[in-house]
Chains A and B, each alone.
Chain A
Amino acid sequence: MLNLLTTNQLSRRFHQVEVVHPLDLALCRGDILGLLGPNGAGKSTILRMICGDLSPSSGSVEICGFDLLQQPRQAKRNIGYLPERPPLHPDQTVDEFLTDSGYLHGLNRSQINRAKTAVKKQCGLEQNGRRLIRKLSKGYQQRVGLAQAIIHDPRLLILDEPTDGLDPSQIRQLRELIKELATDKAVILSSHILSEIQATCNRVAILQQGKSVYNGDITPAEQTGYRLGLEQNPLESEITALPAIASAEQLHTDYFMITLEQGYRPSECLQQLLARGWQVSELSPASRSLEQLFLQATSGGLQ
């Protein structure tokens, strides 16, 4: 499949300080890549380079087969960008602002009218077309920013901290919308919130001081371990002696992190534990994945 975004050894220096170390990314349709890292890790800089707001010190960015530096116009036609602060004009109404955004991306009047109705519906702005942007709440302003980014139906959507300042229900709606949009686009979003990335993305790049310390899939939750609570305090070896359990690690006096043997289901594991005569107080899937991945990757990066 054609890569919608390819970066090749993309890097950025500010005053001799390497802010972004050479980075390779490749995104196809349906990918939702999360850039995860503490504040100041270079997330926004990477996104600004990909959308053409900042040129890289070295390396290249290719969008839908067009080189961003050689053919900026064709490449940028395929980008929708929502910066950290939504780039709004507070004195305009939502409709006027979206019309202008459409013109800037080279749409004509009839295309704009069609696209405007569609994006307002997608972003839940149907009732707000005639309202001044200044008068909208933060959540609605964020929606207008997103509507602006998708009005020209870009192939690549770049969202810088899109859920910043939204309330939990708005965050949930936005996640749904991003997943819906990703069916025919590639999405790249940044966040410093783990749960955010875990809930929305299917791939993650973890950044630490401008270096990509992990770049790949988010481990699906079912492949991870289980948290086992027992009222007794057996040895780890006693637990692994059960046929359903592959490994066990004692985390606390009465908590273990276990992984299951191939082919065994948690219910079978539970039966075996009970048959052994132990009182089970807890058996729950432990979302080991991203948090541990993040800690491992970032502590590894620090060494």
Chain B
Amino acid sequence: MSLSLAWIEWRRLMRTPLAWGSLAICLCLLSWQFLGTLESFSGMQTTHRALGLSHHLSLQIYGLAAVLILLITPILTTRVFSESFRNGSYALLSSAPLSNLTILAGKFLAVVSFLCLIALIPLLLCLSLFTGTQLDLGLLLAATLGLLLLSGCFTGIGLYFSALSENPGIAAAASYGVLMLFSLLDQHTQTSSFIHWLAWPSHYLDLQLGLVRLSDIAYFMLLALFFLGLALHRLDRRRRG
């Protein structure tokens, strides 16, 4: 049932100009970054090349892709609950024979599968180089996995704040705030190592460098599950009023 709800939500999302607009913008920006990276790499002298092309690509393009996903996710997730609470369309789901868990899982899958499209753009761009050069496919796949995990994690956070507020503006602002906080947590060296561990950029960097570690994967999953759990609790509370 979650899958058919995810399919319904996906179709609804793909009917909106928002989805196609954000895909187009991401494609333009990532292509621009891709061409820029290629240009600067091919202009470099061989002795100055500390890293290979695969690493250059994964750091530059996948870095930008992560930022784009961070910017897009709250816009998508606020629609999911906040806006549907406000315009009354949530009643359609709450009076249907669906549990809150099914509803949450369906909505989560729909948003994540849309973000997957964006997460696959960098891979497609890099694959276009395979006709002329050798690239480290494993590295690129690891970075893509990183983007997928990041999408799930950001979606979890976004969905929680979306379920928390009936005001889409507040929900989006809160999601941005928390996402930025998790991006900045490792900026200061004085703070404890646990707080450092909470920041996503270092975990994502491992994957960008081709390092697939179980601890990093667990980090993204735990963070996503934690916020999804909170969102589920919130939906139950809402039904109880």
Q: Measuring CB to CB, which residues of chain A are less than 8 angstroms from any residue of chain B?
A: 12, 14, 48, 51-55, 72-74, 76-77, 79, 81, 83-89, 91-92, 96, 100-101, 103-106, 148, 158
Determine whether the beta carbon of A76 is less than 8 Å from that of B95. yes
Cβ distance A215 to chain B, nearest Cβ, rounded Å: 24
From A83, A89, A105, B96 is in contact (CB under 8 Å) with A105
Cβ distance A85 to chain B, nearest Cβ, rounded Å: 4
Chain B residues within 8 Å of A74, by CB:
97
Determine whether the beta carbon of B241 is less than 8 Å from that of A14. yes
Chain B residues within 8 Å of A84, by CB:
88
Which residues of B, 16-34, contact A by the 8 Å Cβ criterion? Answer: 16
Cβ distance B9 to chain A, nearest Cβ, rounded Å: 9
Determine whether the beta carbon of A91 is less than 8 Å from that of B15. yes
Determine whether the beta carbon of A54 is less than 8 Å from that of B241. yes
Determine whether the beta carbon of B8 is less than 8 Å from that of A81. no
Which residues of B, 183-241, contact A by the 8 Å Cβ criterion? Answer: 239-241
Q: Measuring CB to CB, which residues of chain B are less than 8 angstroms from any residue of chain A?
A: 1, 4-5, 7-8, 11-12, 15-16, 87-99, 239-241
CA distance A105 to B240 in the complex (A): 22
CA distance A104 to B107 in the complex (A): 13
Determine whether the beta carbon of A106 is less than 8 Å from that of B8. no
Known: A14-B241, A53-B91. A91 touches B99 (CB 8 A): no
Determine whether the beta carbon of B8 is less than 8 Å from that of A73. no
Most buried by A among B11, B88, B241: B241
Most buried by B among A76, A84, A148: A76
From B8, B11, B16, B99, A104 is in contact (CB under 8 Å) with B8
Determine whether the beta carbon of B97 is less than 8 Å from that of A76. yes
Determine whether the beta carbon of A104 is less than 8 Å from that of B98. yes
Known: A84-B88, A92-B15. A54 touches B239 (CB 8 A): yes
Most buried by B among A12, A79, A87, A105: A87
From B1, B4, B90, A87 is in contact (CB under 8 Å) with B90
Chain A residues within 8 Å of B90, by CB:
87
Cβ distance B237 to chain A, nearest Cβ, rounded Å: 10
Known: A12-B241, A72-B99, A103-B4. A81 touches B15 (CB 8 A): no
Known: A89-B12, A91-B15, A100-B11. A81 touches B91 (CB 8 A): yes
Known: A72-B99, A73-B97. A92 touches B12 (CB 8 A): yes
Determine whether the beta carbon of A103 is less than 8 Å from that of B8. yes
CA distance A72 to B87 in the complex (A): 24
Most buried by A among B15, B16, B93, B95: B95
Cβ distance B1 to chain A, nearest Cβ, rounded Å: 8
From B1, B4, B92, B98, A101 is in contact (CB under 8 Å) with B92
Determine whether the beta carbon of A81 is less than 8 Å from that of B99. no
Cross-chain pairs A/B with CB under 8 angstroms, 26 sampled: A12-B241, A14-B241, A52-B239, A53-B94, A54-B239, A72-B99, A73-B97, A73-B99, A76-B96, A77-B97, A79-B95, A85-B87, A86-B88, A87-B87, A87-B92, A89-B12, A91-B16, A92-B12, A92-B15, A96-B15, A100-B11, A103-B4, A103-B8, A104-B8, A104-B92, A104-B93
CA distance A101 to B95 in the complex (A): 11
CA distance A198 to B200 in the complex (A): 63
Cβ distance A161 to chain B, nearest Cβ, rounded Å: 12
Taking A52-B95, A104-B5 as given, write out 13 further A-B residue pairs in contact, using a Cβ cutoff of 8 Å, ordered by the A residue number.
A53-B91, A76-B96, A77-B97, A81-B95, A83-B91, A85-B88, A87-B90, A89-B12, A89-B89, A91-B16, A103-B4, A104-B92, A148-B92
CA distance A73 to B100 in the complex (A): 11
Determine whether the beta carbon of B88 is less than 8 Å from that of A83. yes
Chain B residues within 8 Å of A81, by CB:
91, 95
Q: Name the residue on A nearest B93 (C-beta).
A: A104
Determine whether the beta carbon of B240 is less than 8 Å from that of A87. no
CA distance A14 to B95 in the complex (A): 21
Cβ distance A96 to chain B, nearest Cβ, rounded Å: 7
CA distance A48 to B238 in the complex (A): 12
Determine whether the beta carbon of A105 is less than 8 Å from that of B15. no
Determine whether the beta carbon of A106 is less than 8 Å from that of B89. no
